[in-house]
Each structure stands twice: as structure tokens, then as C-alpha cells.
Amino acid sequence: MAISEAELLAAFRRLERPLYSVLYRWLWHAHDCQDLIQDTFLRVWDQRQSVDAARLDALIYASALNLAKNKLRWRGLWRWGEVDPEAPGESSDGPVAQAERRQRELSLKRALDGLDRDSRNLVLLSECAGLTTEELVAVFGWPAGTVASRKHRALSRLRETLMAQGIETTTDAILENRS
């Protein structure tokens, strides 16, 4: 029932990039994403005696999403003390490329914010982290058909919202910019 250090390290190596991609679409701040990934794995390590290796990935994703939700709640309470995550000098792109990237990110953020929490998580986990339907079933605890229909509905709403904002590209092209 317990997981070993090697199993957790292997999970970290396998999930770090997809998890970062999902968390970035929640938080839009690189340092917060890195902190939450570390916190997630530390929490799982603390619970290693009761963690089932077969459900490790689902536990990591669910824990990270809960931590992101909590971070957003605290960020709302402390908004006045926050520094702009896109401070000058953080990118090697030119000013035009930075402005275009920021505009795409803001459009995507508005579109994702328009989805309910489950739909948003479903889109981020499937499109940014690349989770399969079976893995999504493990994370959400829904039947496979429910996962598929909710994913289709969420992606359709996301595309409609982006098109209404004047974004002519597909959601795949926007979501593939996985910082």
C-alpha cells in the first residue's frame, strides 16, 4: 500500500511538466506553479504510508488542483500586495512578441474563467497535461462516458468563447503554448 521514494521520484519526473502546464493555466504565475508542485509532492510524501501506487497520479493531480484553488482564494484576499507576474525583463522575446503572448494568455484566461471549475479542470488536465480518459476517470471519479461528454462540451464552450473574443485559432494551438 505504501509508495517508495523511487516511485514518488519517478512520478515527479513523469508529471512535473504536465502538472506545471495545468497549474500555469490556473495561476498564470511561474513561481507559484513551481511552489505548488513542490508542495503537492511533499504532501504526498508525508502520506506515503497510506498511498496506493495505482492511484498515485490521480492523487497528485487532485492535490495540486486543490492547492491551486486555495492559492487563488488567498490571492484574492491579498490582491493589493501582489506583484505583476510579467515584470519587465522576465522574457527574452521582443516587446511585440511579449505583447502578443500576453494578449493570447489574457484571452485564454478569460475563456477558461468562463468555464465552471470541473470543466476547467477537465480541459486543463486533458489538453495541457495530456491525461487519457482512463486517467481522467481516476482523477474525477466519473464514468468514462461522462468524462468524454463533459470534455467535448467544455472544449466546445472554450472554442466559442475564444471565437467571440476574435481569436481565430483552435484551442489546441492556444493551449499548446505550455510555458
Residues 6+ apart with CB under 8 A from 174: 104, 107, 108, 162, 167
pLDDT at 175: 60
The H or E element spanning position 153 is helix 144-164
Q: 16 lies in which domain range?
A: 1-84
Is residue 48 a contact partner of residue 33, using CB atoms and an 8 Å limit? Answer: no
Is residue 177 predicted with pLDDT exceeding 80?
Answer: no
26 within some domain: yes
Q: Which of the listed residues 41, 56, 84 is the one where a domain comes to its end?
A: 84
Say what the pTM is: 0.68
Kindly report, residue by residue over 105-135, the tens digit of the pLDDT. 888 888 999 999 999 999 999 988 889 999 9
pLDDT at 104: 82
90 within some domain: no
Roughly what angle, to the nearest 10 degrees, separates helices 5-27 and 56-77? 40
Angle ∠(159,59,28) on CA atoms, nearest 5: 45
pLDDT band at residue 167 using 50, 70 and 90 as cut-offs: confident
**162 and 112 housed in the same domain:** yes
